[in-house]
Structures are given as structure tokens and as C-alpha cells.
Amino acid sequence: MAAIAAAKVQEVREITRIERIGTHSHIRGLGLDDTVQPRHVSQGMVGQLKARRALGILLEMIKIGKIAGRGVLLAGPPGTGKTAIAMGLAQTLGQDTPFTSMAASEIFSLEMSKTESLTQALRKSIGVRIKEETEIIEGEVVEIQVDRPATGSGVKVGKLTLKTTEMETIYDLGNKMIDSLIKEKVQAGDVITIDKATGKINRLGRSFTRARDYDATGSQTRFVQCPEGELQKRKEVVHTVSLHEIDVINSRTHGFLALFSGDTGEIKPEVREQINGKVAEWREEGKAEIIPGVLFIDEVHMLDIDCFSYLNCALENEMAPIVIMASNRRDTQVRGTTYKSPHGIPFDFLDRMIIVHTSQYSDKDLKEILKIRCEEEDCEMSDDALIVLTRIARETSLRYAIQLITLSSLVCRKRKGTEVSVPDVRKVYDRFLDEKRSTQFLDEYQDSFMFNQPAAAVAATEQEMECS
């Protein structure tokens, strides 16, 4: 029975894995070796060595936790792996360092002001590692004795006998403890821990001395040693939460459920001030540690002048994360002004940042990336077809070529083939246009479209409107 259930669970997992193929799902890290040098192909990452090396150094600095409040700009043409590199960094950082990713346009919302959503993003990227010492009772259950009242309902009382290799003690049980013992299905021979503060019971497994009663246990049972020493122990528990999570839990208007619904609304500055004070107190007492994480803002030219000036100040705060931004624009208007600036970022803000460039890929790298994507999308492709696809990637764009992988594998499946061949790729290339060919098509057939106005006429109308 248990075995059948386990098999079912595995099936479900496999289905979810297939569904999780996303644009960057092949990336599992920055692909660096122990000396922080990038390997040419590793962890799903290919080439772009300079940028990966730069982020590797940054990663080491983040890990030490010494730097905060820095800005890094990833600048390069579209499709050169800016987002991919940031995702790689996130994966390499590990569980404990917070990483928040957002697109700059996310800050424009009717429910929240721009600065509020930036503040939330900044605070999501700062972790607080809280150390707590709890007292627990850990032992092997010798006997549970529950006295039920004769009436059937009412208060239950009982006794629990626990032992370690050195001692044995009898504890009185209240109603609540009895209920949780029943809920956890604790029986004699189990090794359990009881949190003294919360009364939470945790079943660690069955004691080895009971291994002989194997018949009575399922195949999933875990056997553990009977604990040694005293029954009562002190245990240090470490949690890492983000400042934003603490904010939401403490903001009375929303409550912690807002963390799951994402509907956090605006959080009052007083709440944040109080929390900053409390966290500072914990830090002084040695109970908590601040972990500056990473905030990644993609398409950063979408931020406007208000946001940049807010970030200017926010980065100077001692509890600021490292902000990594990405942009594919050259000189463009800074939103909210009539001035142009490189990457659409005002000069004073650019001055705070270190800039990392990503450059166009060589054919060899393009082929390697496409090969990795074929594996990720479970598509067998012949070498010739891969060469054709690489050429398509060079002449159109890497993204377009990646799109063609699954499409051509569908064509291949339709003709009941096992491997995508050159004609399959050619077929989808003819059927689905890239940006260049689509523009060409529009130019050729512009007369048949609605609201068609030649480019020269549009410019003339605009000029007229400006003059009037």
C-alpha cells in the first residue's frame, strides 16, 4: 500500500519537472571553479566569460557579507544573457542569502506608490538570521498511559515515560499534549522531541532496539539510536527571514496571510521604524545578524526619475542590499524627464554603479547554448540541423532560434521521426517569421492593413502637432 503511494508521488513529481521548463531553467549556477574562474561550459552557462568572472567576484564579496549598498549594471544587447547571468548568480548564492528579482515596470501599480514597492523589494532582499535557543526534551518513549474519563468526554489526563541511555523519567500529560501525541501517532518505541516552549512534538523515528518488531512497521520506517545523556537539552535553532516578511507579519492591517496572497498593500513607516529598532537591538545582543542579499531589477530603463532619486538615498542606508540592474538600451530618455542619458539612467545614479558588459556570442557559443536548450526541451537534433539553427541564431536572434527548437521537434514528431533534421527546421523557419522578415512583410503589404500611414506622413503629422 505504502509502496503504491510512493510510486504515485514520484509520478506527480516527474510531471511537475516537465512543466517547469522555462526560459532560464537550464541555468543552474554561474559555472565557476574554486578559484572563481568561469569554466567555458558549466552549469548550463556558456561563454560570456568576462561578465561571469565579474559577477563571480561580486558573489564572493556578497558571501562574506561585507559589502552592501552597491549598484551593478549589466549592459549589453538583447539576448546576450543578462537575465541568464543574474539567474545564475541567484542559484549560486544558496538558500540563505535572499535574492529578489523584479522587472522595473512592476513598480507601476494603482494599489501602491512607486517608492513603496521599491522599499518592499529592497527589504525583501535583506535577510535577518535569527538565533534562538530552545529547550527540548528528547527521548525514547517507554510507555504512554492515558486515562479517559468514564463519561467518554471531558478532560483526559495521562503519563508519558521517556528514557535515554542513561535515565528515565515520567512526565504528566495534559489534554493538549495527549491530543498531539495521538495526532503524531506516537507509540512506545518511538524517539521523539518535545519543544518545551510550544509543546510541539516531533517524531524522529523508531528506536533501533525495536527493530525486531519489524512486522508491525512499514517499509518507510526510519530507525534511530536511543538518545544519550540528559533528557532535557538546549538546542540552537537558526531561522532566516527577510525584513519584508517581518514587516508584513507585524503590520496589523494585513497579517501574515498576506505573505501568501501577495496582497500586502502599503506598510506604514512607523511599523518599519519599530522593526528596524528591534532588529538593531537583536544585533547588539548577538541574537540576530543582517545578511545583505541581492535585488535584481531587469529592464531598468523603465524606472523613472523619482525612482532613481529614491534609490540614490536608499543605497546609502546601512541596511541596503546589492542592487543589480540590467538594461539593453543605449542612449534613451530618462522616464519623467526630457533628458537623454546612457541606458536611460541619470548620470548621478550611473556614477554610483560599476558596469559589466555582455557582448554578442560567437557561433561556437551559440551552438553550445542551443545544444543545452535541446537537452532541456528533450529534443533530439541532428548535427546538421543544429548547424542550421546556429546560423539562424546569428542572422536573426538567439531567442528566435530557441523558440524554433520545440516547434521543429513537433514537426519531427508529426512525421514520426526520432531526430530533428534540417527540413524540419526549414519548415518551421518558413512558417514562423522572425522580427526582420515580419517587418519586411508589413512593408510589402502595407496597403492592405488598416490605419496604414507611410512613415514620412507620421513624422509630418507629429511635427505639425508640435508646432500648433
Ligand X SMILES: Nc1ncnc2c1ncn2[C@@H]1O[C@H](COP(=O)(O)OP(=O)(O)O)[C@@H](O)[C@H]1O
List residues near ligand X by CB under 6 A: 23-24, 27, 44-48, 76, 78-84, 328, 369, 398-399, 402
Bridge-based pairing of strands 190-195 and 99-103 is: unpaired
Min dist CB 358 to ligand X, Å, is 6
Beta strands in 294-339 (DSSP E): 294-298, 322-327, 331-333
- Partner from ligand X, Mg ion, none binding residue 48, C-beta < 5-8 Å depending on class: ligand X
Closest CA to 314 of 243, 369, 385: 243
CA gyration radius, the chain: 30
Task: List, in order, residues 6 or more apart from 88 with CB less than 8 Å away.
Answer: 27, 28, 29, 30, 31, 43, 44, 45, 52, 55
Position with the least CB separation from Mg ion: 83
Complex with Mg ion: residue 71 or 79, whichever CB lies closer:
79
Local structure of 103: helix, strand or coil = strand
Q: How many residues bind Mg ion (CB under 5 A)?
A: 1
Q: Which residues 81-120 are close enough to bind Mg ion by CB under 5 A?
A: 83
- Partner from ligand X, Mg ion, none binding residue 364, C-beta < 5-8 Å depending on class: none
Complex with ligand X: residue 173 or 369, whichever CB lies closer:
369
Q: Which range touches Mg ion (CB under 5 A), out of 75-83, 177-185, 416-424, 431-439?
A: 75-83
Structural contact between residues 86 and 298, judged by C-beta atoms closer than 8 angstroms: yes
Position with the least CB separation from ligand X: 81
Complex with Mg ion: residue 83 or 242, whichever CB lies closer:
83
Closest CA to 78 of 396, 407, 404, 464: 396
Min dist CB 90 to ligand X, Å, is 13
Min dist CB 237 to Mg ion, Å, is 39
Min dist CB 41 to ligand X, Å, is 8
Complex with ligand X: residue 51 or 62, whichever CB lies closer:
51
Complex with Mg ion: residue 296 or 349, whichever CB lies closer:
296
Min dist CB 194 to ligand X, Å, is 48
Complex with ligand X: residue 21 or 237, whichever CB lies closer:
21
Q: Which residues 169-198 are close enough to bind Mg ion by CB under 5 A?
A: none
Task: List, in order, residues 6 or more apart from 40 with CB less than 8 Å away.
Answer: 46, 47, 49
Min dist CB 86 to Mg ion, Å, is 8
Structural contact between residues 239 and 254, judged by C-beta atoms closer than 8 angstroms: no
Q: Hey, CA dihedral for 277, 283, 289, 291, is it positive or negative? A: positive
Complex with Mg ion: residue 80 or 119, whichever CB lies closer:
80
Q: Hey, CA dihedral for 224, 225, 231, 233, is it positive or negative? A: negative
Grid coordinates belonging to 400: 528566435
Using CB under 5 A, list all residues that contact Mg ion.
83
